[in-house]
């Protein structure tokens, strides 16, 4: 008899989308799955989804990921720089991740994982699966024009959200039978007023269209948040974590039915 616990059951994969501080909702989703006894066999993440996914793939459990999320502050992960390629650097994010996880390579991870980035010269999707995970996470989170791009293997890489903000297809490539996709963008739901809100609506549309079609996931968990504040304010972390956990818990019967 095989001792491999994955033999004879469907492989579960997580596709974690980008969305700045909204990524706190990913923490809630992971906690809900863990509490339900649903093992995650592979993960692909974009932008903040790459950060949360990589921390979990490195071996931290749901409670430890939660502790990291509650402690992390913007000044822990960024610093202003002379604006040649961006206004801030995520070098501190790279160091922060390495410190929290022990600076693993992809080969060291407990769960197969991929980080989605984009090549600044060509605009093509670049999926990172080798080398230092901390560097890959930093590249995947580097919002163009705001955060400096990151050199990896001779290429300048930027936030993967510009090419694939919900990497469902990447999770399929990792071997998932059941893909759970967590999206962090949604339309405003009404006609926004004022230039800032209209501009924010346009950003939401771009983020939605940049990802794989949510219908290609087996389970899509759209997190119902909207507005610039939810992308940048870490003060909402408790609400976002609870929201992600609640949305995932509501979908547990659907997920369990697919696994059975």
The predicted structure's pLDDT at residue 2: 36
The one-character DSSP state at 110 is S
Which two structure tokens, joined as six digits, stand for 85? 């390629």
The pLDDT of residue 175 is above 90: yes
Over the range 83-120, which residues count as b (16 or more CB within 10 Å of their CB) and which as e?
eebbebbbebbbebbbebbebbebeebebbbbbbbbbb
* Widest pairwise Cα distance in the chain: 65
- The mean pLDDT of the chain is 92
Write the DSSP string, 218-256.
SEEEE----SHHHHH-GGGHHHHHHHHHHHHHHTHHHHH
Is 0.85 surpassed by the pTM of this model? yes
Highest mean pLDDT among 3-7, 148-152, 196-200, 230-234: 148-152
* Nearest-angstrom CA–CA distance, 27 and 5: 24
More confident site: 228 or 70: 70
**Which one is catalytic: 89, 140, 159, 212?**
159
Neighbour count for residue 166 (Cβ, 10 Å): 33
The dihedrals phi and psi of 46, each to the nearest 5 degrees, come to -120, 135
Give burial (CB, 10 Å; 0-12/13-18/19+) of 197: middle
**Which one is catalytic: 41, 47, 142, 212?**
47
To the nearest 10°, report the CA torsion of 95, 115, 184, 237: -20
Catalytic residue check, 47: yes
């Amino acid at each position: 008899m095989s001792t491999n616990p994955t033999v004879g059951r469907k492989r579960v994969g997580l596709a974690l989308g980008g969305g700045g501080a909204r990524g706190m909702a990913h923490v809630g989703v992971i906690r809900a799955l863990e509490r339900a006894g649903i093992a995650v066999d592979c993960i692909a993440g974009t932008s903040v989804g790459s950060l949360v996914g990589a921390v979990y793939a490195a071996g931290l459990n749901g409670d430890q990921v939660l502790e990291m999320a509650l402690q992390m502050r913007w000044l822990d992960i960024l610093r202003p720089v002379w604006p040649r390629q961006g206004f801030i650097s995520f070098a501190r994010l790279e160091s922060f991740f390495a410190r929290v996880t022990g600076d693993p390579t992809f080969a060291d991870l407990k769960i197969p994982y991929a980080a989605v980035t984009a090549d600044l010269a060509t605009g093509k999707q670049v999926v990172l699966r080798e080398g230092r995970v901390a560097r890959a996470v930093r590249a995947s989170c580097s919002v163009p024009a705001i955060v400096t791009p990151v050199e990896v293997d001779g290429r300048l890489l930027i936030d993967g959200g510009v090419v694939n903000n919900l990497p469902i297809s990447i999770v399929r490539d990792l071997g998932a039978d059941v893909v759970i996709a967590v999206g962090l963008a949604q339309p405003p739901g009404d006609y926004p007023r004022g230039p800032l809100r209209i501009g924010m609506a346009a950003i939401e549309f771009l983020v939605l269209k940049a990802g794989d079609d949510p219908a290609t996931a087996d389970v899509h968990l759209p997190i119902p948040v909207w507005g610039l504040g939810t992308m940048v304010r870490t003060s909402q972390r408790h609400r976002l974590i609870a929201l992600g956990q609640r949305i995932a818990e509501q979908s547990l019967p659907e997920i369990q039915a697919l696994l059975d």
